[in-house]
């Protein structure tokens, strides 16, 4: 599995790579596809080998809130905390782009943690990164004005997708940030006047 070796060569030992390749299942998923949905019984640990994904929390009213993005080499840490209990997911794990994802059986977690120090380090790294991103999201919701939240959202999406041109509608931004399309459109137009970005039909270009 060349993608696995390319992503973790020098980070994981050959023995660990062999274990992951032997026991893992490689999935090809497409933009917008749900890899794990809220309420699903978690049986695997998803590791992104190529592409990007997002972790989304849906509230009781049906509004979606993006918690953070995952890129190549990242794992969905919410599955780590389940351990071997096979509990249900509290979040949606959705592909942001076409992606290749390695699914590692959850029952393997104890063996990996016990036998491979580099795996333990990888798990801790992922936990720390996701906690930091979650706190940034929390700070944005609590302390920042909506215009700054929109700009931060666009910059993060641009960084994740590695492009300054985002193919996205005002309604999609509003959905992700739990606000109205009218508010998003008004603030984006002001940002365009301020020279921060350019607006096109279903497309935004950051300057």
Q: Stretch 126-140: mean pLDDT, rounded?
A: 82
Quick check: 195 pLDDT over 80? yes
Domains of the chain listed by start with CATH number: 2-141 (2.60.120.10), 145-206 (1.10.10.10)
In the prediction, which pLDDT does 83 show? 52
Q: Categorize the per-residue pLDDT at 86 as very low, low, confident or very high, splitting at 50, 70 and 90.
A: low
Q: Stretch 50-77: mean pLDDT, rounded?
A: 85
Q: Stretch 49-57: mean pLDDT, rounded?
A: 92
Q: Categorize the per-residue pLDDT at 81 as very low, low, confident or very high, splitting at 50, 70 and 90.
A: low
Angle between helices 146-161 and 117-143 (to 10 degrees): 150
Measure the N-to-C terminal CA separation of the chain; round to a whole number of Å.
39
Name the more confident of 191 and 57. Answer: 191
Q: Stretch 31-59: mean pLDDT, rounded?
A: 91
- Helix/strand/coil (H/E/C) assignment for every residue in 14-70: HHHHHHHHHHCEEEEECCCCEEECCCCECCEEEEEEECCEEEEEECCCCCEEEEEEE
Residue 116 near residue 16, CB atoms below 8 Å: yes
In the prediction, which pLDDT does 168 show? 95
Task: List the beta bridge partners of residue 68.
Answer: 55
Quick check: 180 pLDDT over 90? no
38-52, 75-89, 151-165: least confident range? 75-89
Write down the mean pLDDT value for the chain.
89
């Amino acid at each position: 599995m060349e993608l696995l070796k390319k992503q973790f060569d020098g980070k994981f030992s050959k023995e660990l790579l062999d274990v992951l390749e032997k026991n893992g299942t490689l999935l090809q998923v497409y933009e917008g596809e749900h890899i794990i949905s809220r309420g699903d019984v978690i049986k695997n640990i998803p590791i992104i080998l190529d592409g990007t994904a997002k972790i989304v929390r849906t509230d009781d009213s049906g509004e979606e809130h993006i918690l953070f993005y995952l890129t190549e080499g990242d794992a969905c840490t919410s599955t780590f905390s389940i351990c071997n209990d096979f509990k249900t997911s509290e979040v949606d794990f959705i592909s942001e782009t076409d992606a290749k994802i390695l699914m590692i059986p959850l029952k393997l977690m104890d063996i990996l943690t016990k036998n491979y120090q580099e795996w333990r380090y990888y798990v801790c790294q992922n936990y720390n990164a996701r906690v930091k991103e979650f706190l940034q999201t929390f700070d944005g919701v609590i302390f920042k004005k909506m215009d700054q939240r929109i700009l931060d959202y666009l910059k993060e999406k641009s960084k994740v997708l590695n492009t300054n041109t985002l193919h996205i509608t005002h309604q999609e931004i509003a959905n992700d940030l739990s606000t109205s399309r009218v508010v998003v459109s008004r603030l984006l137009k002001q940002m365009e006047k301020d020279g921060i970005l350019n607006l096109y039909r279903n497309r935004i270009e950051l300057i």
